[in-house]
Chain A
Amino acid sequence: MRQVLNITYYETIHILRNRLLLGQIFFVPFLYTLLLGTVYIAGVLNNIPLGVVDLDNSQLSREVVTAFANSPYFKLNKQINTYHGLEQAMRDGTVRAGIVIPEDYAQKVSLHQNTKVLMVYDSSNLIWGYNTRKYAREVINSFNIDHTAAYLAGLGLTQEEVHNNMDTISLNMEVWYNPTYSYATFILLGIILMILHQIGLQSVGLTVTREKEQNSWLQFLSSSVPPWKIFLGKCLPYYTGGFFNYALLLWLASDLIHVKISGSLLLLILLGVIYILVINAAGFYISVKAANSLQVTRYIMLLSVPMFIISGYTWPSRYIPPYINKLAHLLPFTWMSEGFRLATLKGLGFHYLVSHILALTAMSVAALLPAMTFDKHRKFPG
């Protein structure tokens, strides 16, 4: 144990003396979370710039326009008043949505002729696209409800009768787990888990390559310290740092960015303990095997985006082909990000996460075994 603690002590000293490494472990994750958290801090898209082309200019058409203008989702851009202008504004991004009310709209409506309001929205960015579509339908639905209520009142029905009629069958839509549709709640936790993954691998991944480059790895190889002690001693500071970051970043997300994190604290700790263990063990083993720091840095840097995308954290895994899903399920991030969402957002208990915990445990064992028993003989002498 004394040997392990000694290795830990000097690894810590190395981290403390190397400003860049210290920054990488304790400052960069914080900075990234703060920065990317700020990106999503609004949580929901509001004030979507909307262009209106009202070719009818009747009372009805103005009512439609007012319905959109009064909605917090949209913000009317009054400079646009022709279809051509709308087209141009959609092209250069001045507006992201538009409504076009055709000529004689009110008249045709009153004559029960077929006529429609055109709603256009920018789907070149599907975050705009999906949300605008949903918002537009919400606005129209509530406009129609008001219209019906007014019409029925006009027929001489009492307020209560109107209500009763309209709620004959009311479909009550409840959005569970993230009722405000907060994008921050949706995405930020995944990003935090990816930051921990990246920074963890990146830091531990250099712990042996650094020694190799300075030749001091020979001191370990020529002494009788068993591999598992080297692993434990060297990983302990990074593990502590990793777990510290796990706690810090989650706190940051929940308190500063108002991301919803609920669920059992014990479960969160358990997930964190295993996840950071996998990362450290894998990182250490990579470091033992890699030729130099440059190699480690280059490869690990490029992993984050593909791992995030194929994990099913954003684009649902049901729509991802099986072979990509299988590949993704070999990676700890996939299990962790899904399990984490189940625990924090859905607030589910242990027995819903058994498979996630088992998979992560299996992965940590699979990474720990080679990391703790690596061959202390070099294959190609340097």
Chain B
Amino acid sequence: MEQLNFSKVVIIMFKQGLSVMYREITYMWRDRGLRNLLLIGPLLGLFLFYATYSAQAIKDIPTAIVCLDRSDTARQLVEDMKNAEYLKVIAYPPNFQDLEELIKNGRVVVGIVIPEDLGQKVALHRQATVLVAVDGSNMIYATNAASAVMTVTHTISARAGINALVSNGINFSQAQEAYQGINIREEPWFNPTLNYAYFLVLALTLNIWQQCCTLVASMNVIGETGRRSWYQIKASGISVFKLFFSKSIVQVTMFMLLVLPIYIISYIFLHIPMHCNFGLLLLFTLAFTLALHSIGTLASSLSHSAIDSIRLGMLIALPSFILSGYTWPMESMPHYLQQAVKILPQTWFFQGINYLTFKNPGPAFIGHYFLILSLTAVTCYGVAAIVTLRK
């Protein structure tokens, strides 16, 4: 008899939970603005970001050459520049002023000025200077352009030096040896083509996704207690714990369902590398989702209105991507800021995503991340529960 009663109670509790879940799903579905935002937002972001970075790498950096000399040496130099990897000569302005204009207007990024007496000077063994100007106003351009220029400059000055040595009576092999230097083979690891799309598209999309999740999560408690139906719920005798537990399950499940297409499309259609086990990636995402949801829940329990709660949640969610060190590395931030940003689960998530998708450093390494995300979740849910129970 007692056994029967107990199972009855369990069934009732289960049913209550289910009905709360059902209600939560209906709420979210009926809120058309929210529904569209969640369903379309992250995918639209994925599309936009992928389209933006569809060139994938900086090649063909627009270059202009002002060649004021008609000697062979000058012609050779122009040839060298034309053959340089990543540089694309698109203009031959007649003078420095015109080149300057092109750089000011942003039409070219690299400008080369070959002086009028280059051939003559080289023939007379006098020094000649070739100016290479790089537009430094955009760093992505500037670092790529500077690297490209550097590979050419050594070759060019070495050749000129060797010729000068030989004409000074030093034998060729010695001259060559003088300029041999060390050869280097460069291997960019984890993203061998220096593909910008691989670097950013997935992370930026996940950033939109986490912002969407914050929007929903920061409604968790205030969405109930801010409503008149809160009194109904309180009067109905359903435990607050069970209410939010059921609600949270629905929300977290939905966040996971929203992230799935992002991963799938990125991997299968956009060929963005994911070097780790897919299950591990999802599990890691789940750990982050819980941490994020717990922070949203905490924000929603502390606020007086839904708008305030969203503002509070987004106050953290908006700059968190930059703070996470996914782009500008955490190691280069001031020491105290490095410590501070580690409080945010987004920091661990974006760092972890980088490690998992590109490097797959193994379970021991990522275990640490899981631990911290879980701790965040437990703490925030705990505080939120205490705050809510007092309402």
Contact = CB atoms under 8 A, between A and B. Distances in A.
Q: Do A and B bind each other?
A: yes
Given A129-B191, A171-B132, A295-B33, A306 B48 contact: yes
B361 A309 contact: no
B367 interface: no
B329 interface: yes
A42 B311 contact: no
Nearest to B81: A171
Contacts of B154: 141, 144
Contacts of B207: 305
A131 B143 contact: yes
A342 B329 CA distance: 27
B170 to A, nearest CB: 7
A298 B33 contact: yes
A137 B307 CA distance: 52
Interface in B293-339: 306-308, 310-311, 314-315, 318-319, 321-323, 326-329, 331-334, 337
Interface string B168-189: 1010001001111111111111
A147 interface: yes
B159 to A, nearest CB: 8
Interface string A135-151: 01110110110011001
A121 B44 CA distance: 33
Contacts of A120: 186-189
Contact of B190 (A123, A136, A178, A186): A123
Given A134-B150, A174-B131, A348-B104, A39 B187 contact: no
Contact of A137 (B105, B150, B163): B150
A35 B315 CA distance: 12
Interface string A78-107: 000000000000111100100000000000
Nearest to B189: A120
A346 B103 CA distance: 10
B150 A124 contact: no
A263 B200 CA distance: 32
A106 to B, nearest CB: 10
A310 B48 contact: yes
B139 interface: yes
B130 A170 contact: yes
A266 interface: no
Contacts of A131: 143
A130 interface: yes
A382 interface: no
Given A164-B127, A302-B212, A119 B132 contact: no
A152 B329 contact: no
A309 B191 contact: no
Contacts of B41: 302
Contact of B132 (A28, A91, A148, A173): A173
Interface in A57-71: 64
B160 interface: yes
A138 B129 CA distance: 19
B137 interface: yes
B55 interface: yes
From A93, A126, A294, A310, residue with most partner B Cβ within 10 Å: A126
A157 B26 CA distance: 86
B150 A138 contact: yes
Contacts of B157: 166-171
B212 A92 contact: no
Interface stretch (B7-15, B237-245, B351-359): B351-359
Contact of A169 (B118, B147, B180, B311): B118
Contacts, number: 333
Contact of A155 (B170, B327, B329): B170
B207 to A, nearest CB: 6
B52 interface: yes
Contacts of A40: 328
A143 B182 CA distance: 8
A304 B211 CA distance: 11
Interface string B200-211: 100010011001
Contacts of B321: 305
A318 interface: yes
Interface residues of B, number: 117
B333 A38 contact: yes
Nearest to B103: A176
Interface string A234-271: 00000000000000000000000000000000000000
B251 to A, nearest CB: 16
A143 B180 CA distance: 11
B28 interface: no
Contacts of A13: none
B212 to A, nearest CB: 7
B215 interface: yes
Interface in B131-145: 131-144
A147 B104 CA distance: 38
A147 B182 CA distance: 9
A309 B187 contact: no
A80 B118 CA distance: 47
B215 A301 contact: yes
Contact of B208 (A39, A151, A302, A314): A302
Contacts of B103: 176
Contacts of A124: 189-191, 199, 354, 358-359
Interface in B40-58: 41, 44-45, 48-49, 51-55, 58
Given A310-B52, A324-B52, A352-B105, A191 B322 contact: yes
A198 to B, nearest CB: 7
B337 to A, nearest CB: 5
A302 to B, nearest CB: 6
A127 B365 contact: no
A152 B164 CA distance: 12
A122 interface: yes
Given A42-B333, A123-B192, A136 B184 contact: yes
Nearest to B164: A168
Interface in A29-76: 32, 35-36, 38-42, 45-47, 49, 64
A125 B354 contact: yes
Contacts of B131: 172, 174
B16 to A, nearest CB: 28
B318 to A, nearest CB: 7
B312 to A, nearest CB: 9
A1 interface: no
B318 A119 contact: no
Interface string B103-127: 1111000000000001000100111
12 contacts: A36-B323, A93-B355, A123-B188, A126-B200, A171-B149, A175-B136, A297-B307, A302-B208, A302-B212, A316-B138, A324-B48, A346-B104
4 nearest CB pairs, A to B: A144-B181, A124-B358, A178-B136, A319-B55
Given A92-B361, A117-B182, A186-B137, 15 more contacts: A38-B337, A39-B323, A49-B331, A120-B188, A129-B199, A130-B140, A134-B147, A167-B129, A167-B157, A173-B133, A175-B146, A176-B136, A177-B135, A181-B139, A181-B143
